[in-house]
Amino acid sequence: MSVASTSAPPRQVTLRIPLPTGARRSADAEPTQEGSETVDVPTVVSKRMPTLKVITCPYCGGLDQVSPKAMSIFCKHCRKRLILENYKITSYYAVREFFTCGDVVVEKKGQVVASIRAATLIVKGNVQGRAIIRGPVRVAKSGVFRGEINSPSLHVEPGAVVDALVNIGGNA
């Protein structure tokens, strides 16, 4: 009797220990069991999240996430085909719409006549047209820009020529 009564408290202690661990195990097990089906999608997304880049559609302004390797996608908002590449223009380039989600650099020998929409724009050569740029625009000392600039910021280096209607920080 006395042995049983003294052995009873240790039993209670040993019983208390398995209970929380059992509870933890079941708590851990529940999400993983559900995770095999429902958490599957978030797991994949969380793995892809750091490698995805967010782009802004130059046509409708809609946001989308794309793989950095993607060259083009169709905007899920306006269904237009979006170019995601960065451009370096080193020769004469004249188009009606020069739209990309990437960055545009017009090199010294580059000459662009176009309506430009891009993430950023660096002008070291000659640009004529209307530029709607989501990020900063830089006109280097060798650069000439004629037309219209809409962007959040504009940096004009000494020696650069900017003969344009300029709208900085306003609505494009």
Residue type, 42: P
**What is the nearest approach in angstroms of Zn ion to the Cβ of residue 72?**
13
Stretch in the footprint of Zn ion (CB under 5 A) among 27-35, 50-58, 94-102, 157-165: 50-58
**What is the nearest approach in angstroms of Zn ion to the Cβ of residue 82?**
7
Token pair of 98 as six digits = 């020069």
Q: Which helix (H) or strand (E) holds 9?
A: helix 2-16
Q: Considering only residues 39, 53, 62, 90, which one is a binding residue for Zn ion as defined by CB under 5 A? A: 62
Alpha helices in 17-129 (DSSP H): 18-34, 40-48
Per rule CB under 5 A, is residue 59 in the interface with Zn ion? yes
Per rule CB under 5 A, is residue 77 in the interface with Zn ion? yes
Stretch in the footprint of Zn ion (CB under 5 A) among 61-69, 86-94, 104-112, 114-122: 61-69
> Is the distance from CB of 87 to CB of 102 less than 8 angstroms?
yes
Token pair of 21 as six digits = 């661990």
Q: Residues in the site for Zn ion, rule: CB under 5 A? A: 57, 59-60, 62, 75, 77-78
